[in-house]
Amino acid sequence: MWQTAGQDRIIEFLRDSISRRSLAHAYLLVGPPHVGKMTLALDLASALNCGEGGIPCGACRVCQRIQQGKYPDVIVIDKYVGRDPKDRRKATEIGIDTIRELLQRSSNLPPYEGNYKVYIIDDADLMSAEASNCLLKTLEEPPRHVIILLLTSQETALLPTVISRCQRFELKPVAFAEIENRLSKFDGLNPDKIKLLSRLSGGCLGWAISALQDDSYLQSRDQRLSEFFGLLTRSWSDRLLYIQQIPSDRHSVEELIKLWLSWCRDVMLLKYNCEEDVTNLDKLNEIRSWANMLTILEIKDFINSLNKMLVNLSYNANLHLLFEVIMLDMPKKEKKADYSINAAGVNN
Ligand SMILES: [Zn+2]
């Protein structure tokens, strides 16, 4: 059985290709991080090498070893491969030596025990220009028994000549109901947490499972949202002081702004009486109190400012200045003793 969630059309196509023996030599799997690209790649590798007639049974020795990374004919290449675990932080690209040693040379040898040698390059966009050109040589004259799978969430960073030699599949975000269904199979999870994680995942099942196994994400989100909630009624000087507590690396800042945007989107949804579509389900009371204090125009303008900040982030603008602008653009309200829920006053 295919383990990949929510990509039925692609699976159907691949199953058909396997049964008709009309496989491409290279596939490009495009989609956001944690949407299931690696799961699909391992599923396909199992389907090609499993003894159960082209469908990954998931239970045989071949399937199990592929899942555990112990099958000699399925080779996963990423930026960490071949590095000392202590140097993981330094790993930023997939170099030519990695592609030459692990793929180009070994691809000319027949499979050790399976039907196909399957090479999976994770975050293929991290290949250096030399590594991409080295891969291109194998893509131009691929040995018959070789299938190459390139996984990426940044397709535009790949060489067009590499893309043009692959059959391309785009993995779409998985439906919330399907994510809830998969999460409900984990023991001891309450339904509210399942629902919350599926909404926060944005359709990426892998993300939801990681957040399930590591509480630190939900804890830090909780803290960040509590701080953000309070900023609406803080003084200008408090807001500017708060900037000093904000993370200084661009990736974390981008995550933070997206978190704020998800909150503001929820406020807007409440303004339009669409409570069932809210993402931050566990913060409904706080979001409602913002919705009570802000007008639609105020929240719209602030969403525009946050979106503008995301664009400016990609241009390497000064982080401190960007946050100063955001803190001044954020509407400011007087603190009231009572944030009580006033459903009638939400829509204005
Ligand atoms: Zn199997």
The predicted pLDDT at position 189 comes to: 85
**How far does the centroid of ligand 1 lie from the alpha carbon of residue 43, in Å?**
10
Does residue 126 carry a pLDDT above 80? yes
Does residue 342 carry a pLDDT above 50? no
CA distances from 297 to 267, 286, 288, 294, 331 (A): 12, 19, 16, 8, 10
Percent of residues, the chain, with pLDDT higher than 90: 82
The predicted pLDDT at position 339 comes to: 47
**How far does the centroid of ligand 1 lie from the alpha carbon of residue 45, in Å?**
10
CA distances from 82 to 112, 129, 164, 226, 230 (A): 21, 19, 29, 42, 47
Give domain limits for the chain.
Answer: 8-170, 176-214, 217-345
- Token representation of residue 258: 């997206």
pLDDT average, residue stretch 78-86: 87
pLDDT average, residue stretch 319-325: 93
Please, what is the average pLDDT of the chain?
A: 91
The predicted pLDDT at position 347 comes to: 53
| pTM confidence score | 0.85
The predicted pLDDT at position 341 comes to: 44
pLDDT level of residue 262 (50, 70, 90 thresholds):
very high
pLDDT average, residue stretch 254-276: 95
Residues whose CB is under 5 A from ligand 1 (ion)? 50, 57, 60, 63
- 217-345: CATH topology is Zinc Finger, Delta Prime; domain 3 (1.20.272)
Place of tokens 């708060």: 242
Does residue 51 carry a pLDDT above 80? no
pLDDT average, residue stretch 95-123: 94
The number of residues making up the chain comes to: 348
Q: Do 8-170 and 217-345 show the same overall fold?
A: no
CATH of 8-170, one of 3.40.50.300, 1.10.1530.10, 3.40.50.970, 3.30.70.660: 3.40.50.300
**How far does the centroid of ligand 1 lie from the alpha carbon of residue 119, in Å?**
18
Which residues fall within 8 angstroms of residue 343, CB to CB, at 6 or more apart? 288
Give residue-wise pLDDT tens across range 184-195.
998 888 899 999
The predicted pLDDT at position 340 comes to: 45
